[in-house]
Amino acid sequence: NNIVVLISGNGSNLQALLDQSPPLGGEIVAVVSNNANAYGLTRAQDAGIASHVVDHKDFSDRLSFDKALMAIIDQYEPNLVVLAGFMRILTPEFVQHYQHCLLNIHPSLLPRYQGLHTHQQAIDAGDAEHGCSVHFVTDHLDGGPVILQAQVPVFEDDDAAGLAERVQVQEHAIYPLTIRWFCEGRVVLYQGKAYLDGALL
């Protein structure tokens, strides 16, 4: 299994994937960032993994950016493309191109709080629980079928940063686990729905 990871920032989820032992059941063959200053690029270099920057600011529209992205990704003939804190909205063309093999992690208990500022939203809503979700990416932003979620408590004195930290610990657990399942052929997207070991999720 060849895995390409897309990042925009810190790359702590990328690091969690790199740190897996036993390894993931697939090889991270390249890391691509839209942001040249992403710390995740340093993590990739330290791990001896090929890295690329495709800066969205160099493109006049989303589709030409996504096409450039696809051209680089496809050089690696990936079986799986992993979005790990990749902060660009992808075109339907991109999503179609990698349908069935495109995963994302989102810091909320989907379908709650799609989009940004999820931790603050959970606090403002007075939720007792918050968390993160790994899902297949479909045309609907943050709306694809969920594979696995982890919940954490929201404490009364939580601020968004503290809550985000607690959620990230769980991200670093469930993303590698889900990717391992995918690499083992245990999790699939079939007719728009996610299955684990043949059971509908």
Binding site for ligand GRF (CB under 6 A): 7, 9-13, 40, 84-85, 105-107, 132, 168, 171
Per the DSSP assignment, residues forming a β-bridge with 153 are 129
Ligand-binding annotation for 7, yes or no, is: no
Structure-block tokens of residue 91: 């075109």
Nearer residue to ligand GRF within complex by CB, 14 or 189: 14
Output the smallest distance, CB 188 to ligand GRF, in A.
22
Q: Which residues are catalytic?
A: 106
Ligand-binding annotation for 88, yes or no, is: yes
d(CA 197, CA 64): 37
Angle 177-167-56 (CA atoms, 0-180°, nearest 5)? 80
Ligand-binding annotation for 12, yes or no, is: yes
Nearer residue to ligand GRF within complex by CB, 71 or 103: 103
Output the smallest distance, CB 36 to ligand GRF, in A.
15
Ligand-binding annotation for 90, yes or no, is: yes
Strand ranges in the chain using DSSP code E only, listed in sequence order: 2-7, 27-33, 50-53, 80-83, 102-106, 129-136, 146-153, 187-190, 193-196, 199-200
Output the smallest distance, CB 16 to ligand GRF, in A.
8
Nearer residue to ligand GRF within complex by CB, 64 or 80: 80
DSSP label at 108? S
| SS3 at position 28 | strand
Q: Which residues are annotated as a binding site for (6R)-10-formyltetrahydrofolate?
A: 62, 87-90, 104
